[in-house]
Amino acid sequence: CLHSLLCDETTHAWGSSYMPCRVMTSHTFMYVCICSSLWFVRHYSPSQARHGISRSVVSGLKWANEKYERFLQRRFPRFYVIYHTFMRGFRLLFQDGTDVRRIVACMLSEKTEYQNLPYRDMEKIRQVRRDLIKAIPLVILSVPPFANYVVFILMYLYPRQLLIRHFWTPQQLVEFQGVYHTQRAQHHWAIVKGLESTSTSVQDSRIKIRLLELCSKVRSGVHPVVSDVHAVRTLFSGPPLGVKRMYADQMRHLCPLLFLTPRLPAFWIGRRLNSHSLELMQLDRAIVRLGVHQLNDAELREACYMRGLNPDRLSPGQCREWLTQWLQFSTHLKESETSLYLHCMVLLTVNYPKHPRH
């Protein structure tokens, strides 16, 4: 009976111009039948026969899946792109979950602190945590009956706002990162202007002059060196520019640098800025332990992007050069200087390089 139903459904789906959802139904039904067969084989066959039949079933399933994907690619090319992206996204998401579980298990068994993990393990935990936070509202929205259909439509219409990076195409990944960088770049000059305004409350005239010279350099299009930044670092560990001492407007302009919402009370914003900056500082130290030369091009670009630099028009060599300079600056900072770390995501990025590669 199951075989006849399956054949009938498959014949209709493949032999007519039915929508892909009908094909999806037959595909899902095939999975159910094969899983039932596997259960029967597992419990009622000798071991050699069981393994042989299992391999045959898996091979048949793989063949059917490939044929199904070729059908979608030929008949529904736009839907195939969405289908392929989602299937790939679920595989990557499952792999990330497996990796994080393994990392956490090793941390517990070896009693390792988070800041002592290798760079790639730290970055994996950080990224998965951000992905889960973004995915939670979508999961809650899909809980009511039949709400999942609305969710699918919303995901199709607003992939950047609702989907995590696993479910973006490579073109969308580049496009969306460009959009996010444009949004944070809109606050760059407001941050520099805030530094200039705060300089009026600096008592030490020598440091005040250094701060104004630094802001003037950035405004004129000059990329400052690390020594220019270290000359004013004392201003950022206490008043007037410490992460818990600066004006609320300045903190709100810093939030987009880390992709955080500024629509929160000032004390809460200060705590979030401080915790996220400390996390990046720990990642910087992990990169130093690993070695910048050990990062592949994708990891290199992601590291630069998370620290305020847009790597879209930069070569791998330029990204490596900038990240090396950044690590020379950040690894000498104390935990009380997270405000300087945040401001340098503007000061050390906005004019790099002087003549970008096109």
Gap between the Cα atoms of 272 and 268, Å rounded:
6
Residue 177 lies in a domain: no
Gap between the Cα atoms of 81 and 160, Å rounded:
16
Residue 355 lies in a domain: no
Encoding tokens for residue 229?
């930044």
- Considering the domain architecture, whether residues 253 and 276 belong to the same structural domain is answered as yes
Nearest to 274 by CA among 341, 193, 328, 191: 341
- Cβ of 298: how many Cβ atoms within 10 Å? 9
Is 57's pLDDT higher than 90?
no
CA atoms within 13 A on the CB side of 358: 2
- Considering the domain architecture, whether residues 93 and 212 belong to the same structural domain is answered as no
Q: Which of 16, 44, 75 is a domain's end point?
A: 75
pLDDT, one tens digit per residue, over 64-115 is 777 777 777 788 887 777 777 888 888 888 899 999 999 999 999 999 999 9
Mean of all residue pLDDT scores within the chain: 82
The total number of structural domains that make up the chain: 3
Instruction: Label residue 139 by pLDDT band (50, 70, 90).
Output: confident
Q: Higher model confidence: residue 71 or residue 271?
A: 271
pLDDT of residue 51: 62
Listed range (27-31, 211-215, 333-337) with the worst mean pLDDT: 27-31
Q: How far is CA 82 from CA 90, 113, 163, 301, 345, in A?
A: 12, 40, 12, 26, 35
Residue 292 lies in a domain: yes
- Considering the domain architecture, whether residues 309 and 259 belong to the same structural domain is answered as yes
- Considering the domain architecture, whether residues 194 and 147 belong to the same structural domain is answered as no
- Considering the domain architecture, whether residues 249 and 343 belong to the same structural domain is answered as yes
Residue 357 lies in a domain: no
Instruction: Label residue 189 by pLDDT band (50, 70, 90).
Output: very high
Residue 175 lies in a domain: no
- Considering the domain architecture, whether residues 252 and 218 belong to the same structural domain is answered as yes
In three-state secondary structure terms, 243 is: coil
Which H helix or E strand runs over 182?
A: helix 170-185
Residue 173 lies in a domain: no
- Considering the domain architecture, whether residues 153 and 249 belong to the same structural domain is answered as no
- Considering the domain architecture, whether residues 193 and 338 belong to the same structural domain is answered as yes
- Tokens 């530094």, residue located: 195
Q: At what angle do helices 316-330 and 297-306 cross, to 10 degrees?
A: 50
- Considering the domain architecture, whether residues 149 and 226 belong to the same structural domain is answered as no
Listed range (85-89, 170-174, 242-246, 344-348) with the worst mean pLDDT: 85-89
pLDDT of residue 320: 96
Residue 354 lies in a domain: no
- Considering the domain architecture, whether residues 35 and 143 belong to the same structural domain is answered as no
Full residue range of the structural domain in which residue 272 is found:
185-347
